[in-house]
Amino acid sequence: MIDENLLEQFGAGIIFIKKGDVLFEEGDTAKYFYQIKSGEVKMNNYNDEGKEFIQSIFAVGSCFGEPPLFIDKPYPANGVAILDSEIYAIAKEAFFKLLFVHPEAHLSMTVNLAQRLYFKSVMASEISSQEPEHRILKLIDYFKETVSKLKPADRYKVELTRQQIADLTGLRVETVIRSIKALEKKGFLTIEDRKVYR
């Protein structure tokens, strides 16, 4: 989201983390701004019974975990690498200085937050009040449109596992599997070689 040269210019370091490594945990104090140079990161929670909920998945170029920097609250979720990754990290103070000196970077941050708030709004309404099939379709369309930047007419291969879809929608794997089958039967998507296309 923020120009990489700018990040380096303001003293960004690079953190190397392997798949499964934890960058920060729920409750930790936020001290750095993070942006993905390569790899992929998720933010998640576990409920009392140990069930995972994935807040979001962040890909190359995305920044994440800034809200706590702005509002001086601890992280509301864990940050975990889902692929081996390189992460730009820049200290809170340097980050604020960067925003102050570069209003255009500040604006792109704001736009980014607005974008994520928008996604959360859509998913919140889905999760709370729609049937599994509806939820899953909405999530897939969101990833197709926003993450992969494809048009509705394009053919999109869903790279999420059934388990990830479950954790993103608050459903169970079995329910996701069954719903996806039902959606295929209804013609909303196709399954080829166990992969979902939409």
Work out what residue 180 binds among DNA, a second copy, none; the CB cut-off runs from 5 to 8 Å by kind: DNA
Amino acid at 18: K
CB of 121 to a second copy, least distance (A): 5
From residue 44, give the alpha-carbon distance in Å to each of 23, 32, 104, 183.
12, 18, 30, 27
H, E, C per residue of 23-66: EECCCCCCCEEEEEEECCEEEEEECCCCCEEEEEEECCCCEECC
Work out what residue 79 binds among a second copy, DNA, none; the CB cut-off runs from 5 to 8 Å by kind: none
Q: How many residues bind a second copy (CB under 8 A)?
A: 43
CB of 169 to a second copy, least distance (A): 7
Q: Is 115 in the site for a second copy (CB under 8 A)?
A: yes
Work out what residue 83 binds among a second copy, DNA, none; the CB cut-off runs from 5 to 8 Å by kind: none
DSSP symbols for 95-116: HHHHHHH-HHHHHHHHHHHHHH
Residues near DNA, by CB under 7 A? 49, 51, 131-132, 161-163, 170-175, 177-178, 180-181, 191, 193-194
Q: How far apart are CA 65 and CA 22, in angstroms?
A: 13
In the sheet where 52-58 sits, what is the strand order?
A: 22-24, 78-81, 41-46, 52-58
Give the CA count within 13 Å in the CB-facing half-sphere of 3: 12
Which residue, 28 or 133, is less far from DNA as judged by CB?
133
Q: Is 120 in the site for a second copy (CB under 8 A)?
A: yes
Which residue, 38 or 112, is less far from a second copy as judged by CB?
112
CB of 74 to DNA, least distance (A): 27
Work out what residue 66 binds among DNA, a second copy, none; the CB cut-off runs from 5 to 8 Å by kind: a second copy
- Per CB under 8 A, contacts with a second copy among 78-107 are 99-100, 103, 106-107
Q: How far apart are CA 173 and CA 9, in angstroms?
A: 45
Q: Residue 149: left if φ>0, alpha if ψ -120 to 50, beta else—which one?
A: left
Chain residues binding a second copy by CB under 8 A are 43, 45, 47-48, 51, 53, 55, 66-71, 73, 76-77, 99-100, 103, 106-107, 109-111, 113-118, 120-125, 127-130, 134, 169-170
